[in-house]
């Protein structure tokens, strides 16, 4: 049954929009009249039209992580209660207050009612439901444990959301300090220092080296500040464009894995993400080789992604998982030992879950340490910069007082 988007007028003359499932546009208009609405436009869901084009991957609607977690949890709860999938999708679509979510779920329900699986229906929206999500749902459908798999997906999505929110909250204070530092320095160098220089120039005395340096820096900010800002923005845009070139991005990501501190953070984040994804796919019944292919695609570092691809090929040729990952040289020894133990004991799925939890804890601990140090560092930087400018202003005044005495 197709989905139709409508625009209608209510009894107060206000426009309302929504979506209905019906056999035809004529039936939708009749349903609207039965509800006391005056239909203006009725058309097949735009979302569905977009999905029928080759551009669906780029222009299909997307869901926020929070919305996807909520929808997944609600569907899992209803399926566990024994409701058919199509009824679950209909109930969750009515429960949602987001029109975009309603359109997505109604269209997915239409696909399911046409005989497609839930995973195939979700494939209509690759941006709303990533490869990891769809592959896990497909595994749950084939194994007959869709409710359990969806609950695990909801846990995974909620944990991802919580981790992002924790980092964002921790970054608020350092970012504000950094912005204040730049604003204070720009104000001092652009407006305060030039006025004081006029006083010093009338005395005719030799200025201290620090004062001369600050005055020169002030002249640069005053005369070239806007130009330097534009150049910095252009360089930033050019760098981002350059990193979109696969060869340059690959070289950059490889170098990034060897920079002190940044390397540890990048490796930790990517290996934790890989372990978490691999654990949920493997525990859901996805074959190991297929799970590695999907887990490798979610990595943000292209060099690590290449190494995981090479490891996937070796596993498909009969090499053990821990040996294939060890040959890459980028995965932590603790992770490799735990995976080897799981392979030896025949409990690889269980051990992958423990690896994911262990790696996630390590990353959160490292992030906590770095973010806790970043705030004091910015305070020291701001205080040091302001102190330097103040000293550059006070030194000539002190020298002048000594001359007078």
Domain boundaries, the chain: 3-44, 56-129, 145-405
Instruction: Inform me whether the pLDDT recorded for 37 exceeds 60.
Output: yes
**For the chain, percent of residues with pLDDT exceeding 70:** 90
Confidence band, pLDDT 50/70/90 cuts, at residue 2: low
pLDDT of residue 57: 47
Any idea what the Cα angle at residue 133 is, between residues 130 and 139, rounded to 5°? 140
pLDDT of residue 235: 94
- Residue 116 per-residue DSSP state: -
pLDDT of residue 53: 42
pLDDT of residue 347: 83
Burial of 201 (0-12, 13-18, 19+ CB in 10 A): exposed
Instruction: Inform me whether the pLDDT recorded for 198 exceeds 70.
Output: no
Instruction: Inform me whether the pLDDT recorded for 323 exceeds 70.
Output: yes
Token duo for residue 67:
């919305």
- Residue 204 per-residue DSSP state: T
Sign of the CA dihedral running 384, 386, 389, 390:
negative
Q: Which residues have CB under 8 Å from 182's CB, separation 6+?
A: none
pLDDT of residue 50: 40
DSSP class per residue in 362-402:
HHHHHHHHHHHHHHHHHHHHHHHHHHHHHHHHHHHHHHHHH
Instruction: Inform me whether the pLDDT recorded for 305 exceeds 60.
Output: yes
How far is it, in rounded angstroms, from Cα 225 to Cα 152? 52
Confidence band, pLDDT 50/70/90 cuts, at residue 374: confident
Which pLDDT tens digit goes with each residue over 208-239?
Answer: 788 788 878 877 877 887 888 899 999 999 99
Which pLDDT tens digit goes with each residue over 342-353?
Answer: 888 888 878 888
* Helix 209-242 with 348-404: angle, nearest 10 deg: 150
Picking from 50-64, 158-172, 298-312, 339-353, which range would have the lowest pLDDT averaged per residue? Answer: 50-64
Token duo for residue 97:
């207050």
CATH class of residue range 56-129? mainly alpha
What global pTM score does this model have? 0.64
**For the chain, percent of residues with pLDDT exceeding 90:** 5
How far is it, in rounded angstroms, from Cα 57 to Cα 244? 18
Which pLDDT tens digit goes with each residue over 67-126?
Answer: 888 888 899 889 888 888 888 998 998 888 888 888 888 888 888 888 788 888 888 888
CATH topology of domain 145-405: Receptor-associated Protein (1.20.81)
How far is it, in rounded angstroms, from Cα 42 to Cα 205? 82
pLDDT of residue 192: 75
Instruction: Inform me whether the pLDDT recorded for 403 exceeds 60.
Output: no
The SS3 assignment for 22 reads coil
Mean pLDDT of all residues belonging to the chain: 80
Confidence band, pLDDT 50/70/90 cuts, at residue 376: confident
* Helix 302-316 with 321-328: angle, nearest 10 deg: 140
User: Which of 295, 302, 299 minimizes the C-alpha distance to 321?
Assistant: 295
């Amino acid at each position: 049954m197709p989905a139709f988007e409508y625009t209608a007028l209510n009894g107060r003359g206000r426009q309302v929009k929504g979506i209905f499932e019906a056999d035809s546009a004529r039936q939708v208009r009749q349903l609207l009249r039965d509800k006391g609405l005056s239909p203006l436009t009725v058309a097949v869901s735009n979302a569905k039209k977009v999905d029928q084009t080759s551009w669906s991957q780029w222009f299909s609607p997307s869901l926020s992580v929070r919305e996807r977690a909520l929808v997944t949890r609600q569907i899992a709860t209803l399926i566990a209660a024994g409701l058919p999938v199509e009824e679950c999708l209909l109930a969750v679509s009515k429960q949602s207050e987001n029109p975009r979510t309603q359109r997505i779920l109604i269209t997915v329900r239409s696909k399911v009612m046409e005989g497609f699986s839930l995973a195939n229906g979700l494939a209509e929206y690759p941006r709303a439901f990533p490869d990891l999500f769809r592959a896990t749902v497909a595994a749950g459908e084939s194994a007959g444990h869709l409710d359990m798999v969806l609950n695990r997906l909801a846990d995974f999505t909620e944990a991802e959301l919580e981790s992002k929110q924790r980092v964002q909250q921790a970054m608020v204070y350092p970012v504000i300090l950094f912005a204040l530092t730049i604003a204070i320095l720009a104000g001092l160098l652009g407006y305060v220092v030039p006025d004081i220089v006029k006083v010093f120039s009338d005395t005719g005395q030799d200025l201290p080296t620090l004062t001369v340096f600050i005055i020169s820096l002030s002249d640069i900010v005053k005369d070239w500040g806007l130009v330097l800002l534009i150049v910095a923005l252009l360089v930033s845009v050019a760098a981002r464009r350059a990193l979109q070139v696969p060869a340059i991005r690959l070289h950059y990501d490889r170098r990034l894995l060897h920079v002190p501190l940044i390397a540890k953070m990048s490796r930790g984040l990517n290996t934790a993400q890989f372990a978490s994804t691999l654990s949920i796919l493997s525990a859901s019944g996805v074959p190991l080789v297929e799970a590695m292919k999907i887990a490798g695609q979610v990595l943000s570092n292209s060099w690590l992604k290449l190494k995981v691809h090479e490891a996937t090929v070796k596993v498909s040729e009969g090499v053990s998982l821990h040996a294939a990952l060890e040959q890459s040289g980028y995965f932590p020894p603790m992770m490799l030992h735990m995976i080897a133990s799981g392979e030896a004991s025949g409990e690889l799925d269980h051990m992958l879950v423990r690896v994911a939890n262990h790696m996630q804890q390590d990353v959160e601990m490292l992030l906590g340490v770095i973010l806790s140090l970043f705030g004091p560092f910015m305070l020291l930087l701001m205080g040091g910069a302001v102190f330097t400018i103040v000293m550059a202003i006070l030194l000539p005044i002190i020298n002048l007082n000594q001359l007078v005495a």
